[in-house]
Structure 1
Amino acid sequence: MLRIHFTSDDLARITLATGADPLWEVLLSSYRLRRKEGAVTFGPWKRDVVRRAGPEARVLSALAPLRGYAVDFLTPAGTGSSLSAGAEALRRTPRTRLRNDLAELARRHPGRPFPRWTRGLAEGAPEAVALVADAVTGYFATMLDPFWSRVEAQVDHDRSRRVRALTERGWEGVLATLHPSASWSYPVLELAFPADHDIHLDGRGLVLQPSFFCWGAPTTLLDTGLPPVLIYPVERDLNWLAPTRSTSQQALSALLGTTRARVLEAVAVSACTTTQLAQRIRTPLQTASHQAAVLREAGLITSRRHRNSVIHTATSLGRSLLNGRCGLTS
């Protein structure tokens, strides 16, 4: 569980990021490249770019293992939506930060071999720091830049929704709806997280950073002394890349029916309430509720009540069906 502790000053110092952060998207997309989660949403992108993954991706994977801690210095604060500013901030990373983060990485991944260049990086060697900065910019150019306008469009859409929520209900309304797991009771915001982690803002405020490649639970930095930031997943258009439906999608629609297939795909993106589900697939609330009930009876999704809402989650069977791994027999 992630707990973010606010003071009254912090509510006045919340900032909603102006757009997608290239460095956070580089880091989080490197996970999507290596993990199986999110196949429905990211599958077309992954199939397009995986053959182009080069040494830059290997540099990132050394600093961001498949599971667990990734070094905080890969995503410096205050660079906004500028890749060049982010890369320059990386090059200026203090030696103490490099050494501490790499020591933390080794401590949290005991026995894991690290490339030889990480020793120089821990000592602040300019050529090692340049290697990392160049890897980030090279990875972005190859893996993200061809799709960046679509990524930005998805993030901008989410930001517009948050601005409307802010106008209608204030920051408390925004915080309470950031994620299906969000629970806001002043002065603490609680969110799903892989481990217990507390951040005391102490008047520093909080940057809310929407992310396209963030999957599942929100994320943040480990070092609570760094400028506080909360990265949360946006609600994505499932057809963000492909103008036409794939053969597997067509087969799924034939099996379940078009609307139910869309409902299952939408729930698989991330857990959501019935209202959020209706918004994702652009259907009336009553229709979304009915189709969710049918999928629940079939064992493809589960539903649980949380306060005044019902939250839907895809089951392993539902995900297997979406990923084409379900061996159904007559």
Structure 2
Amino acid sequence: MAGVLRIHFTRQDLLLMQLAGQSDPMWEAVLGTHVLVAPAGRLTPRLSAWKANARRKIDPEVRSACRLLMDLAPADASYFPDFLTPIEAMEGLDAGLDALRSTPRSRIRHELGFASKRRALPNWTCSLARGEGEAMQDVARSFQIINDRLIRPDWTQVAAALEMDRSQRLSALERSFSSLLDSMYPFTWNDPVLSAPYPMDWDIRLGGRGICFIPSYFCDRSPVAIVDPKLPPVVVYPLQVASRRTAHDEALGALLGDNRAKVLVSLRTASTTGGIAAMAGLRPSVVSGHLKILRNAGLVESERQGQHVLHTLTPRGAVLTTENNPG
């Protein structure tokens, strides 16, 4: 990263700080396309697993949708237009797409002009800048296709990972605002400034407006911020679901096999198959196979609760995953 993002807080901003309870489907669509083109070896295991699965679903329609979004928001851009990720999308994709289609022509032209100062834009974006309705409909259709074909099919896994991250953040908040900010990788909190690596040097001065932090399954390594100071301050950050691997976990891996041990250790907190997959960085189908073996061994039990199956450790499984067990 070539620069630093610095978010300047006042006491009022700490009181008005919000932690979103869910991800934003339009941010996830944009950042999901970035994952698809990320260099091999750069991604975390869970994103590598998602990418491998998603690439099998790409047909000409999906490829065209991804190309259009990446024309506007390429993975290596230091800035992409804020109108692509309206705050209304926190109410759902339909609300976000309605807001996108209603973007004033003057704002579209301004933000595309700002982007063009940093990189060359494709010729078709001239139609978008002129406010031609069909160009914006194409953008909205691309969001819909990517969500329907690539994002939503894995949403149980995404939602489980988001819930784990939110639980960790709220646990930190119980201690203090500072603990919450300290817990949000890759940020560094040095009161009153929260900073993180960023593609360019950028300062956000909240000035008592507060800020909303949105966790993202597909945000990789560095946060992304809304640039326009006239818009509500929003920062999307990469969620963290993996826990530190201990010597005990390593020994368990040698005993059971690394992936099976990851599944077992993930169940120190009860979870769904998707949640385990997110924590362990494995495909849900792989997790299901390991769960069957662990159930047969009397280490795990599973119970349907509504639409999901919740997996928990049996007393024997809990003993096996407990560090410094004197047994």
Equivalent residue, structure 2, for 1:104: 114
8 Å Cα contact 2:49/2:282 also seen in 1: no
Q: Distance in 1 between matches of 2:44 and 2:17?
A: 33
Q: What CA distance in whole angstroms lies between the structure 2 residues aligned with 1:114 and 1:239?
A: 36
How far the C-alpha of 1:113 sits from its partner, in A, is 5.3
The CA distance in 2 between the partners of 1:135 and 1:283, in whole Å, is 47
Structure 1 position 5, deviation (Å)? 0.7
**For residues 128 and 322 of structure 2, what CA distance do their matches in structure 1 show?**
52
Corresponding residue for 1:195? 200
CA distance in 2 between counterparts of 1:14 and 1:145 reads: 28
8 Å Cα contact 2:50-2:283 kept in structure 1: yes
Q: Give the distance between the partners of 1:43 and 1:191, measured in 2 at CA.
A: 23
Q: Which runs of 5+ in 2 are unaligned?
A: 242-278, 288-320
Partner deviation per Cα, 1:96-149 (whole Å, 9 max, x = no partner) = 22101111222111xx35042x11110111111111111101111011110012
* Matching residue of 1:23: 26
2:286 matched residue in structure 1: 244
Q: Does 1:229 align with 2:207?
A: no
1:128-277 → structure 2 map (5 Å cutoff) = 128-167=135-174, 169-179=175-185, 181-236=186-241, 237-244=279-286
Please tell me whether the aligned partners of residues 5 and 195 of structure 2 are also in contact (alpha carbons under 8 angstroms): yes
Deviation of 1:46 (Å): 1.9
- The secondary structure found in structure 1 opposite 2:236 is strand
Pick closer, same or farther for the CA change 1:67–1:209 going to 2, 3 Å. same
1:165 CA drift (Å):
1.4
CA distance in 2, matches of 1:283, 1:235: 22
Whichever residue aligns with residue 226 of structure 2, its letter is L
Determine if contact 2:45/2:282 at 8 Å carries over to the other structure. Answer: no
Contact 2:72–2:121 (CA under 8 A) maintained in structure 1: no
**Which stretch has the larger CA shift, 123-132 or 233-242?**
233-242
Change (3 A) 1:174 1:283: farther
Q: TM-score, normalised by structure 2?
A: 0.70
2:194 aligned counterpart, secondary structure: strand
For 2:18 and 2:282, the matched residues in 1 are separated by: 27
CA distances 1:214-262 after superposition (whole Å, capped 9, x unpaired): 11111212223321111111124133534428xxxxxxxxxxxxxxxxx
Instruction: Give me the whole-angstrom Cα distance separating, in 2, the residues matched to 1:46 and 1:283.
Output: 33
Q: Where in structure 2 are the equivalents of 1:17-166 lying within 5 Å?
A: 17-36=20-39, 37-38=42-43, 40-51=45-56, 52=58, 53-68=62-77, 69-109=79-119, 112=120, 114-116=122-124, 118-166=125-173
- Offset, 1:283: 8.2
Give the CA deviation at 1:43: 2.5
**Which residue is 1:307 aligned to?**
none
Equivalent residue, structure 1, for 2:250: none
Deviations 1:161-212 (A, max 9, x none): 1112112x12221011111x42223221122222211000111100011111
**Hey, what's the Cα distance between the residues in 2 that align with 1:49 and 1:244?**
16
The size of the alignment, in residue pairs, is: 244
Secondary structure of residue in 2 paired with 1:192: strand
Instruction: State the distance in 1 between where 2:221 and 2:115 align.
Output: 23
Residues 31 and 283 of structure 1: is their aligned pair in 2 closer, same or farther, counting only changes over 3 Å?
farther
How many angstroms apart in 1 are the aligned matches of 2:132 and 2:51? 33
CA distance in 2, matches of 1:63, 1:142: 20
Q: Distance in 2 between matches of 1:13 and 1:284?
A: 40
Q: Distance in 2 between matches of 1:202 and 1:284?
A: 46
Give the aligned partner of residue 309 of structure 2.
none
Tell me, what secondary structure is at the counterpart of 2:224? Answer: coil
Q: 1:210 to 1:129 in 2, by over 3 A?
A: same
Structure 1 distance, partners of 2:45, 2:322, is 20
CA drift of 1:88 comes to 1.0
